[in-house]
Amino acid sequence: MSLGYDPVDKQISVEIGQRERQIQDLILRDISKKTAAQLSPLNYTNLQDELRDDINAIMTDAKIKSVVFREFTVVK
């Protein structure tokens, strides 16, 4: 997964680095609460928006613009 943000904003890359473990934990907790149906490709946009909003809720100095899945596998 990749986080999209304004590359000119140097503070956001610093904060993402400082919060990397917290962000990873948040993502794992959010995804683990979902059913296989909620994780289907039809729901990717909603999931991406939800993860973006949840990550932005813990950020203090800047906000990410997007969450992009590079690879996503759901095992039933």
C-alpha–C-alpha distance, residues 12 and 45, integer Å: 23
Kindly report the pTM of this predicted structure: 0.87
Domain chopping of the chain, boundaries:
2-68
16-57: per-residue pLDDT in tens?
Answer: 999 999 999 999 999 999 998 899 889 999 999 999 999 999
Residue environment code for 23-59, b if the CB has 16+ CB neighbours within 10 A, otherwise e: beebbeeebeeeeeeebeeeeeeebbebbbeebeeeb
pLDDT in tens, 15-25: 999 999 999 99
